Amino acid sequence: MVAAIEIDDLRKEYGDVTALDGVSLTVPEGSFFGLLGPNGAGKTTFINILVGLVRKSGGEARVFGHDIEADYREARNHIGVAPQEFNVDRFFPIREVLEHKAGYHGIPASEARERADEVLKQVGIYEKRDTRFDWLSGGMKRRFLIARALVTQPDLLILDEPTAGVDVQLRHDLWDLITDLNEGGTTILLTTHYIEEAERLCDEVAILDSGRVVTVSTPDELMDSGTDRITVTFRDPIQSVPDITVGDGHIEAVDVEDGRLVVAASRGGVVAPDLVRELDDAGYEIVDLDVSRTSLEEVFVEMTRQDTAVPEGQA
């Protein structure tokens, strides 16, 4: 099966600034792929290269097997993109903006109207079809950008920070919408600063930092790589650390805090049942157990931690 996106050693320099420093990635067809990274990591540059807005300095990029430069039209026709910025024609009613977009992609006028109506219904702003973009609320603008990306029925939908600045309700609505699209077969490439969003939606994430891929993994695998915290509360508070033999190398630290046992371990969910069994066998009476998993956010911060020390004299 041909990959939705295949990138090999992609590079981009803007003068002295290296925005992409040899990125290689494969986004399988049908996947929900997250691209995470701190500000300036190179995410937007990556997207802009894919859609032909920025010219790469080196490396290869293919979309559904089509080279993004040699086969630009073919590659571009597979992609729908909802950008971070509101780059929309503000003078026409939004339905017309969609019709123009469809027309530009070679869709006949009669079909363009149908498509426009269909996607406006899909994102829930059909009743605003005769309104100009400027007059939509912030949330409706986000919805409209997705509608515009969908009007050409793309196989690959690229969403650059789709839920930036929207309220919780709309964020959940958008999540439902894009999950449905993915379940219908559309490959999704999502960039986001809301790590929870990636954790919930993506089946694979790449973490980009300073133009390089730090890791590509499932959210679960990434969270497994962090340290979880297991807290055991006893009927009679303990004073000293009991003997613990379980854990199979996953336990990193054991402490007593306020009469409770606190264990730092990788794979806390796997360690906790064995730990409880061992303590129970040793005669401890347990009244509460809490396992707090490392969040993807903590793993992300750890992996992209910058050296924030300020050189002397520059504070």
Residue 194: phi and psi, rounded to 5, are -90, 100
The least distance separating ligand ATP from the CB of residue 38, rounded to whole angstroms, comes to 7
Pick the closer one to ligand ATP by CB: 40 or 103. Answer: 40
CA distance 81 to 98: 13
CA atoms within 13 A on the CB side of 95: 15
Q: How far apart are the first and last CA of the chain?
A: 54
Nearest in space to 233 (alpha carbons), one of 293, 292, 291, 289: 289
Residue 17 makes contact with ligand ATP by CB under 6 A:
yes
Which one of residues 44, 163, 187, 266 is an interface residue with ligand ATP (CB under 6 A)? 44
Output the smallest distance, CB 43 to ligand ATP, in A: 4
Residue 265 near residue 277, CB atoms below 8 Å: no
> CB–CB of 246/271 below 8 Å?
yes
Residue 17 has a CB neighbour count (10 Å cut-off) of 11
Q: In the bound complex, what is the minimum distance in angstroms from residue 100's beta carbon to ligand ATP?
A: 27
User: Which CB atom, from 37 or from 226, has the smaller least distance to ligand ATP?
Assistant: 37
**CA dihedral (11, 192, 195, 310) positive or negative:** positive
CB distance 56 to 213 below 8 Å: no
Q: Which of 2, 40, 248, 282 binds ligand ATP (CB under 6 A)?
A: 40
Contact status: 14 vs ligand ATP (CB under 6 A): yes
Q: Is 110 in the site for ligand ATP (CB under 6 A)?
A: no
What is the smallest separation between the CB atom of 81 and ligand ATP, expressed in angstroms? Answer: 13
Stretch that binds ligand ATP, among 37-45, 117-125, 136-144, 293-301 (CB under 6 A): 37-45
User: Which residue type does 82 have?
Assistant: A
Among 23, 25, 34, 43, binds ligand ATP (CB under 6 A): 43
At closest approach, how far in Å is the CB of 94 from ligand ATP? 25
Total interface residues for ligand ATP by CB under 6 A: 11
Question: Which residue, 14 or 104, is less far from ligand ATP as judged by CB?
Answer: 14
Residue carrying the six token digits 């390089």: 212
The Cα–Cα gap between 186 and 165 comes to 25
Output the smallest distance, CB 315 to ligand ATP, in A. Answer: 23
> Could you give the CA distance from residue 137 to residue 133 in angstroms, rounded to a whole number?
9
What values do phi and psi take at 205, rounded to 5? -130, 145
Tokens of 244: 């613990």
Q: Is 37 in the site for ligand ATP (CB under 6 A)?
A: yes
| 22 closest CA partner among 61, 51, 68, 52 | 61
Residue closer to ligand ATP, measured from CB, 160 or 224: 160
> Using the rule CB under 6 A, is 81 a contact of ligand ATP?
no
DSSP, residue by residue, 108-123: -HHHHHHHHHHHHHHT
41, 82, 232, 251: residue in contact with ligand ATP (rule CB under 6 A): 41
**Cβ at position 39, least distance to ligand ATP in Å:** 3
CB of 104 to ligand ATP, least distance (A): 24
Window contacting ligand ATP (CB under 6 A); options: 41-49, 102-110, 228-236, 296-304 = 41-49
Using the rule CB under 6 A, which residue among 31, 45, 266, 294 binds ligand ATP? 45
Contact positions vs ligand ATP (CB under 6 A): 14, 17, 19, 37, 39-45
